[in-house]
Amino acid sequence: MKPRVVITGMGWVTPLGDDVDAVWARLLRGDSGVGRISRFDARAFSTDFASEVRSLRLEDYLPSSAAEHDHAGLNTRFALGAAARAWAQAGLGPPGSGRINRRRLGIYLGSGEGSLDFDNFVASNLAGWREDTRSVDAVAWARAAYARMDARREIEQEPNMPLAHVASAFGAGGPAYNCLTACAASTQAIGEATEIIRRGDADMMIAGGAHTMIHPLGVTGFIRLTAVSSKRDDPLRACSPFDQTRSGFVMGEGGGMLILETLDHARARGAQPLAEIVGYGSSADAYRITDIQPQGLGAQHSMREALDEAGIDPLATGNDGRPPVHYISAHGTGTKENDAVETRAIKAVFRDNAPRVPVSSVKSMLGHLIAAAGAVELITCVQAIKTGIVPPTINLRTPDPECDLDYIPNQPRDLNASGGVDVCLSNSFGFGGQNDTLIVRRFRE
């Protein structure tokens, strides 16, 4: 029999803060982290707003070793901060401490490419570049960019650097993996970390993701793809998943990390499980690179795989008459195609039960954290199980007829009177057709 895998620690660094309970309270209030971009002058961009992490000091997370990571990029800083919070909640003491076998402690991260010196140079010279492109001497510009680059920081642009820093900070000498599957990355990382534990290659894994693309090149790319909202006149309402007026997602950033371990390992060290991971599914659309398969066949497959592994029949009802899944954390980006396709996929999998399952998108408040999104959204699922309350989809005022499920508009919903929340499903769909689904359940002996 495969070992049970439980979550014993969670941490995040988000545009709404970094304390799990405090951020959860803000999500239930419907607070938004969206504002004007402060990291560079974005006034000339058609989208000049994002959901930024406004402040982060490594000393607050790693008081004794922050200096060792002072050249790290934002991706890595988000990963370290979230991992430190998760490590502490898991009862493991200061980072790097804890009586555990370090060769049986692994890491699986979903983290995107870093982008440091070149972007900083572009940002600092953006005004002149914008005013008269014809006057720019490309050779001189490139030489100036080269002169400003810091050799130590250049290596930090590699996508596996967050993993390397986290391994160093927490002494993780076991299996080490990094995946770069766009918006599905941290969900995939958590699912694959669970499988590593189940097959016996590790007792404990630090799993999750970290990412930022709020820099000139990142913002430009998504604008050119017409994927981001351009509602400059009202940024707080710019991200409106499932609403008929939705026009794209809002870029966000941050990190989300979880401590996973076998139930036996958790018991042996006296840790209290927060929830249990019971299902994981992964698929590819195998369709056009820039388009979603219209019926969401890949999304359907990842959900069904996760449900099958969890032993859950999506068409059944429980003894209380409720569907077997009590909350779905939707990918819910706020783009026209994504929201409609995800709706079709959920309806295809759950059929008559689909309208009875509460669904919401916290991206409406946090923005899209790209590679970190899935981990952060799984943490909200565990919080829903803990509290019996599910978060809202804010800015949902004119429902799209194509998006006709119960998307919990604008106000949280307390489900305690109807039995609480025992089982949650979390979807993440990545650009290019990557689909990953996790199912988490209330822990019971």
Q: Which of 268, 291, 314 is the C-terminal boundary of a domain? A: 268
CA-based nearest residue to 201, from 163, 165, 161, 173: 173
Name the band, by pLDDT with cuts 50, 70 and 90, for residue 94: confident
pLDDT, residue 8, reads 98
Between 81-85, 116-120, 314-318, the lowest mean confidence (pLDDT) is in 116-120
Q: Percentage of the chain surpassing pLDDT 70?
A: 90
Name the band, by pLDDT with cuts 50, 70 and 90, for residue 125: low
The answer, yes or no, to whether residue 87 has pLDDT greater than 60, is yes
* Residue of 211, 326, 331, 403 marked catalytic: 331
Shared domain check, 286 and 200: no
pLDDT, residue 186, reads 98
Q: What is the mean pLDDT of residues 124-146?
A: 53
* Residue of 69, 215, 326, 368 marked catalytic: 368
Between 6-10, 148-152, 398-402, the lowest mean confidence (pLDDT) is in 148-152
pLDDT, residue 140, reads 67
Is 301 noted as a catalytic residue in this protein? Answer: no
- 346 versus 146: which is more confidently predicted? 346
In degrees and rounded to multiples of 5, residue 378 shows phi and psi of -70, -35
Name the band, by pLDDT with cuts 50, 70 and 90, for residue 20: very high
Name the band, by pLDDT with cuts 50, 70 and 90, for residue 363: very high
Within a domain: 134: no
Is 368 noted as a catalytic residue in this protein? Answer: yes
Which amino acid does the sequence have at 62?
Answer: L
Shared domain check, 264 and 284: no
Within a domain: 344: yes
Which amino acid does the sequence have at 145?
Answer: A
Shared domain check, 348 and 226: no
Shared domain check, 240 and 208: yes
Between 28-37, 126-135, 239-248, 281-290, the lowest mean confidence (pLDDT) is in 126-135
The answer, yes or no, to whether residue 141 has pLDDT greater than 60, is no
Between 132-136, 319-323, 355-359, the lowest mean confidence (pLDDT) is in 132-136
pLDDT, residue 127, reads 44
Shared domain check, 77 and 38: yes
Beta-carbon-side half-sphere exposure of residue 179 (alpha carbons within 13 Å): 26
The answer, yes or no, to whether residue 354 has pLDDT greater than 80, is yes
Beta-carbon-side half-sphere exposure of residue 168 (alpha carbons within 13 Å): 16
Per the prediction, the chain carries an average pLDDT of 91
Shared domain check, 167 and 304: no
Name the band, by pLDDT with cuts 50, 70 and 90, for residue 157: confident
From its phi and psi, is residue 295 left (phi > 0), alpha (psi between -120 and 50) or beta?
alpha
And the tokens for 246?
């939705």
Within a domain: 88: yes
Q: Which of 233, 268, 303 is the C-terminal boundary of a domain? A: 268
* Residue of 179, 183, 381, 424 marked catalytic: 183
Q: What is the pLDDT of residues 190-233, one digit of tens each?
A: 999 999 999 999 999 999 999 999 988 889 889 998 999 989 99
Instruction: Report the alpha-carbon distance of residue 350 to residue 38 in Å, rounded.
Output: 43
Shared domain check, 221 and 179: yes
And the tokens for 225?
């793809």
Is 239 noted as a catalytic residue in this protein? Answer: no
How many domains does the chain fold into?
2
Between 68-82, 240-254, 361-375, the lowest mean confidence (pLDDT) is in 68-82
Range of the domain at 181: 5-127+151-268
CA-based nearest residue to 236, from 25, 401, 394: 394
Q: Which of 240, 268, 296 is the C-terminal boundary of a domain? A: 268
The answer, yes or no, to whether residue 401 has pLDDT greater than 80, is yes
Q: What is the mean pLDDT of residues 359-386?
A: 98
Q: What is the mean pLDDT of residues 287-316?
A: 95
Shared domain check, 160 and 111: yes
Name the band, by pLDDT with cuts 50, 70 and 90, for residue 114: low
The answer, yes or no, to whether residue 116 has pLDDT greater than 70, is no
Shared domain check, 263 and 286: no
Within a domain: 314: yes
- Whether 85 and 11 have beta carbons less than 8 Å apart is answered as yes
Name the band, by pLDDT with cuts 50, 70 and 90, for residue 128: very low
CA-based nearest residue to 439, from 421, 428, 422, 424: 424
Considering just the CA atoms, what is the radius of gyration of the chain in Å?
21
Secondary structure of residue 3 in the 3-state scheme = coil
